[in-house]
Structure formats: structure tokens, C-alpha cells
Amino acid sequence: MDVLLVLLGAALTLALLTARSRLLSFRAQRPEDYAGKGPDFDLRRHLSGPILCEGVIYGPTGRVASRFVADMEGRWDGNTGTLAERFRYDSGRVQDRQWRLTLGNDGAIRAEADDLVGTGRGMQSGPTVVLNYRIRLPAEAGGHVLDTTDWMYLMENGAIMNRSQFRKYGITVAELVATMRPKEPA
């Protein structure tokens, strides 16, 4: 009887934790939650030209693992574009990346980059963009493949707030928080 109660308690706890993560957390957001709730986020307009990005990466314990500043450049030809990124980390490491983006007329997004496993998929909705993809970390960071949920929120002044969570086996192992805004002319 005691074993049965312990198993029942464990099952109930697991069910509550699963329900919480699916209904009340970062992962529970859906693009339709933001439809019509502010200025429309248009990647072609808001991720175009020179962009300054500043952010932090939190490790699995919630402590800052890294800080970075990035220069980005968005270029568009109709519904296809590239976003070139140059990250400078507090460790001194420099990382260059490039997104290849394709937009559907319904707000759907297809994203590719050299460090992605497969193709990322996302959606523009109201003042938000969500993108889900699998990213392979550099060899010096272990080469792990992480499942990523990336949300960008357009602010009233045109700045973009970015929050990303990275998971391995369903467990959050890192989180990124960053701002993006048009780069001031030199």
C-alpha cells in the first residue's frame, strides 16, 4: 500500500510539472496569443540594415555564463533575406553566423544557418516572432545539439527584446536574453 501511494504521488507530481510547463511557462506561449496586441513585427523591416545586439547567456543554474555584443546586418529581397551576425563574447571569442530566412505570405518563417540541424520554423504574429530550431554548439562548447525556442518581442520604440531557451532532453540548459535595435550611424 505504501509503495502504491509513493508511485501515485510521483505520478501526480510529474503530471503537475508537465501541465505547468505546457500551460504556464515560457514554452506555453503561442503566436496567436499576441495577434493584434501591438505594432506588427515585420522581419523585412525590423531586421534590416545595421543592428546592434547586446545580451547575456544564463547557464543551467541561472547564473550568467557569458555576455556578448553583436553587430548584425539584415538584407532582404522580397520574402527572402539574410541576417549576418558577428558576436564578441566577454571571453574574447568572436563568432560569425548567418541566417538565411524565407517568409511565407501567412507569416510563416523558414530559417537555415550552418550550425542548425535541419530547418528552423517559426511565425510572425502581432508584435512577436517565434522560431523553433535545433542548434549544434561549437566543438569547444561540447558540440551538443540543443532544441531552441526563440521569441522576439517588438517594443513600441522599435527595439526588439529577444528571449531564447535551449533544451537538451527536455531540460533547460541555457537561456539567452538580448536587445536589438538599429545601429546608430558612426
pLDDT digits (tens, 9 = 90+) for 159-180: 999 999 999 999 999 999 999 9
pLDDT exceeds cutoff 90 at 5: no
Looking at the domain assignment, is residue 61 inside a domain?
yes
The answer to whether residue 20 sits within a structural domain is no
pLDDT in tens, 121-150: 999 999 999 999 999 998 888 899 999 999
Query: pLDDT value at position 141?
Result: 81
pLDDT above 80: residue 60: yes
Domain of 158: which CATH number?
A: 2.40.128.20
Amino acid making up residue 170: G
Q: Which three cell numbers stand for residue 129?
A: 516572432
In a domain, 57, yes or no: yes
pLDDT attached to residue 157: 92
Considering the domain boundaries, does residue 7 fall inside one? no
- Residue 39: is its pLDDT beyond 90? no
Q: Which residues contact 1 (CB under 8 A, 6 or more apart)?
A: none
Which element (helix H / strand E) includes 27? none
40 falls within a domain: yes
Q: Residue 53: which of 75, 41, 64, 69 has the closest Cα? A: 69
The count of domains in the chain is 1
24 lies in some domain = no
Q: What was the pLDDT predicted at 27?
A: 72
Is 159 part of any domain?
yes
**How far apart are alpha carbons 172 and 166 in whole angstroms?**
6
- Confidence class of residue 21 from pLDDT cuts 50, 70 and 90? low
- The DSSP call for residue 38 is S
Distance CA 151, CA 56 (A): 15
Q: Is the pLDDT of residue 37 over 60?
A: yes
* Residue 15 is assigned to a structural domain of this protein: no
Query: Which of the two residues, 15 and 131, has the higher pLDDT score?
Result: 131
Beta bridge partners of 111: 101, 120
pLDDT at 24 over 60: no
Mean pLDDT in the chain? 89
The range of the structural domain enclosing residue 178 comes to: 31-182
Residue 173 pLDDT: 95
Residue 111 has pLDDT above 90, yes or no: yes
Q: What is the pLDDT of residue 71?
A: 97
Instruction: Judge whether 35 and 126 are in contact, CB under 8 Å.
Output: yes
Residue 178 CA to residue 74 CA, distance in Å, equals 17
